[in-house]
Each structure stands twice: as structure tokens, then as C-alpha cells.
Amino acid sequence: MLQEREQLLGIEAGSIFLTDPDYRVDPRLTRYLTRSSFALLAPETQRNYATDCCLFFDFLWSRGKNWCEADDDDVWDFQYWRRWSPRNPRVIGGSKWNRELAALNRLYKWAVSKGIMPKSPVSERILVTRAGESITVAAGRAHDVRSSNVKWLTPRAYRLWRDVGLRGYTADSRRDPSWRGRNDDRNAAYSDLLFSSGLRRGEGASLLTIEVPVLASATHRYASGRLGREVTKSRRPRTFYVSADALGAVDAYICTTRRAAVRRAQASGRYEATSDLRVVTRRSGWRGTTLHWVDRDGQAVQRDLDMVGVEERARLFVQGQGGLEPLWLWLAEDGTPFQPHSWEAVYRAASQRCRTVLAGRMAEPPWFTPHMARHSFALNMLVVLQHALDRRFGLSPEERRAMRELYGDVWGLVRDLLGHASEETTRTIYAAPVADLQIRSLLLDEAAEDTIDVLAQLARLSGRVLDAQVAV
């Protein structure tokens, strides 16, 4: 009965719903969360926006107001409390506030469109862009948005972080006999995948085994793979590239640690006891991306991978020789899907170990996050692609400008690799913070024999590009 009511209301597994402090559910909010454009957002964006709205709702509740009774004074007061109030021990910066404001703006525009409220409490103003186009933006939008928190690791600094933090090595590149880490090869393989491909945390974390590029197909040390639409932030499928070394680490994990976790789960009957499985019986299509399964009601389902979201991916299984096996690539020790958000804890623990093991041996022990892998990938590819073009074609500065006019420059290539809709996003978020380093002159510096030298120069000139410095 409950399941039928949920289906009637469009509530799917994993849907977000909110309660007030008296544990009451507002059906209008549930409708917004499950049956508006909000439900089409990426899962992580949904969680972030819902959390942002809850903070504002709590603020309103302390004033004796419900969410639908807010006015513009409430939003302005909330902005002051979140950003500057001395009574708030955890004030936030401009970037975080702009995200919270975007979450509120989306909700209240919907509420006005449905006649729930006569006017949105989020004030707006007209902004004229550089191109002369007039657009409407939230009046409280912060201007002090800085990208100074963007950090990069050079490849050798990353390898040091990975070996010490994830693999349990010492500062002398030896195995630490006291290391009691688990899932070393899984964690290192996932991290190598992100660092060499520029995938977002959730994109890499929700890959299926059938989506891992075939190592034998790697040409010139890279292989290509494809991301489904429902797992990308932009909701557009795209091609990604991963190094043969990273792919080899993933294959080794599949054949060892992952296989052992699957066998343990099969022996304990864990998979058979899991409810609402989708057992894929066959694949069709010229790329094998159309999945066929029978649901629990006995109905045959045909679904392209592009249309399978993260939550549903975690329920996809196949029948193997030893029983049911999950298609989800990254597994916990008990054989169940390792959830995307759980990787943050893995990275924090690895960075803490680096801080402890390398203290006194390095001026600044490396630290790393899943999103820093994207930063590092973007900077590394910017240098590598420019260096490769110069080396392959022997271009002079004049010839380089002519080629850029005809075919575009490396910024556009990096934009495509990252899956950005706009090249401006690539420049602003990932590369503009190093513009003061005169990166173009560094890329043309004949004294830099290879990309490692170029990245080392960047690290010496910037406090945000972290390299593996000589022990002190």
C-alpha cells in the first residue's frame, strides 16, 4: 500500500523529504523535492540544496515562521547571520553563500509559480553582462567570491600522498610494518582514476564494471571511456580519458580485493537477502549499453545506461559463476557498493597520515581531496597539451597564435576533458588563479625540458601548486 502511494506521488527510492521540528511533513515541500525541476538535479546538488534550505527553515522557525511565510527581510537577516554575525561561530564565505542563495531562489520561484506565495523573499536585480545582455540575478549575491582555495598537486607530490597516505609507505618509500590499512589497492586505484581522468568524485565513484575502459584498448598510454548522462553534473554524456597505469591499477583491484569481497558476500548470502535488486540478464546495442532485466513484479525492463541514475546503479547485479555479483565497481569489505560520499573520509584519513608521517621531513606535507584531483588534472593537462603541441609541431609563437585561431587552444581541450559547458568556467575556476605566474611564458620557456620542470617552476612560484619538496 505504501509503495503504491509513493508511486502515485512520484516518490522514488532515495528521494529527499523534509520534516519540521514537530516531525510534520509539508506536502508542498515534498512535491517540490520530488516532482519539480529540483528532482532533475544531480543527486549531490539535491543533497546540498536541501541542506541549504533546511538551514534557512531553522532560522525562520526560530522567528516563529514557516518556510512559506518568509519575506525579504528574513533573507537579508539570514545573510548577515551566515556571513558576518559575531554570534555565529562558523560564518561562511561568498562562494558558499551564493550556493545557499541559489537554493533558496530556486525553491521560492517555484513556490510563486504554484501560487503558494504571492512574492519571492529573494530580491533580484537586473545585471548587464559584458556582451550587453540583461539578466536577472539575486540582489544578495556575494561579490567576494575567491578561487584562492583552489589547490593543485604536481604528479610527484600526488604519488607521495598516495603512497604514504593510502598505501602505508614511510617517508623513505618503504612499507611501514605498523601499517594496518585495509582496501589499499581499492583506494589507490580510485584515486589514480580521478587524478588521471579529471572525473568528479561522484562520477568516478558510480562507475560500473562494464564501463571501465579495456586496458588492451589503450593507445599512447591512454584509454577512453564514456560517462552516462545521469551521473554527470551537467546531465550530458561525455567521453573521458584515463591513463593506462591507472587503468592497470583498477584491473588489479577487480581481480583481487574486489573479487574477494564479492566471494565473502556470496558465501554469507548477503546479495540474495538484498531487496529490490535489478538482475541484468543481457546487454544489447552496438556498444552493449542497453541493459535488460526483470523487475520484482516480473516485468521485463529495457534501459540504456544513459538513463540509469546513481541510486539505481547500486542495485544492478549480474548472475556470475558463484552467484549474484554487483555491477557497481567500488565495493566495501562486505561486498556492498561503497557510497560516493564515503570517499571523503578515506581522503581525510590519508592526508592526516601524511601530516603525521612526513612531519619534520617536509616543509609542507601534501594533503589532497577528491576535487583537488580535478584541479590538478586541469593544470597538468594544460601544461602537457601545450608542451605536446610545441614539441610535435615545433611551433613558433606566431604559428601558435595562427593554429589557435583555426582550431582553438588548449583551454578548450581541457574544458572538454572536464565536461564544462563554458570555457570561461575552466579559465576562472581552475586556471585563472595561476595567471599571475605568467603561465604562458613558463610554457614557452626553453629551459624547461619537460612538463615536470614546468610544474616544478609553478610550484616554486605559487603557494597553491604543491610539489614534493626535498626533505628538510
**Of residues 109, 108, 114, 101, the one with CA closest to residue 48:** 101
Is the backbone of residue 335 left (phi > 0), alpha (psi -120 to 50) or beta?
left
Strand partners, 284: 290
With a cut of 70, say whether residue 383 has pLDDT above it: no
For residue 98, give every residue at least 6 positions away whose Cβ sits within 8 Å of its Cβ, in sequence order, or none: 141, 142, 145
Residue pointed to by grid coordinates 516532482: 35
For residue 153, give every residue at least 6 positions away whose Cβ sits within 8 Å of its Cβ, in sequence order, or none: 161, 366, 368, 372, 376, 465, 466, 467
For residue 463, give every residue at least 6 positions away whose Cβ sits within 8 Å of its Cβ, in sequence order, or none: none
Q: Determine the straight-line distance between the first and last CA of the chain, rounded to whole angstroms.
A: 67
Identify whether the C-beta of residue 174 lies closer than 8 Å to the C-beta of residue 203: no
Euclidean distance between CA atoms 148 and 464, whole angstroms: 8
With a cut of 60, say whether residue 449 has pLDDT above it: no
Residue pointed to by grid coordinates 601499517: 179
* Three-class DSSP category at 323: strand
pLDDT given for residue 442 in this prediction: 45
Residue count (the chain): 472
Q: Which of the 8 DSSP states describes residue 328?
A: B
**Of residues 212, 432, 178, the one with CA closest to residue 305:** 212
Q: Which long-range contacts (CB under 8 A, 24 or more apart) does 60-65 make?
A: 61/20, 61/21
- pTM beyond 0.75: no
Euclidean distance between CA atoms 65 and 86, whole angstroms: 23
Euclidean distance between CA atoms 275 and 451, whole angstroms: 51
* Three-class DSSP category at 416: helix
* Digit-coded pLDDT (tens) for 193-241: 999 988 989 999 999 999 999 877 666 688 889 999 889 888 888 888 8
With a cut of 80, say whether residue 305 has pLDDT above it: yes
* Count of Cβ atoms closer than 10 Å to residue 315 Cβ: 19
Helix (H) or strand (E) holding 290: strand 290-294
* Count of Cβ atoms closer than 10 Å to residue 38 Cβ: 20
* Digit-coded pLDDT (tens) for 319-353: 988 899 999 999 999 999 999 999 999 999 999 99
pLDDT above 70 as % of the chain:
74
* Digit-coded pLDDT (tens) for 439-448: 444 444 444 4
* Digit-coded pLDDT (tens) for 245-290: 999 999 999 999 999 999 999 999 999 888 788 999 999 988 888 9
* Digit-coded pLDDT (tens) for 80-117: 999 999 999 999 988 889 999 999 999 999 999 999 99
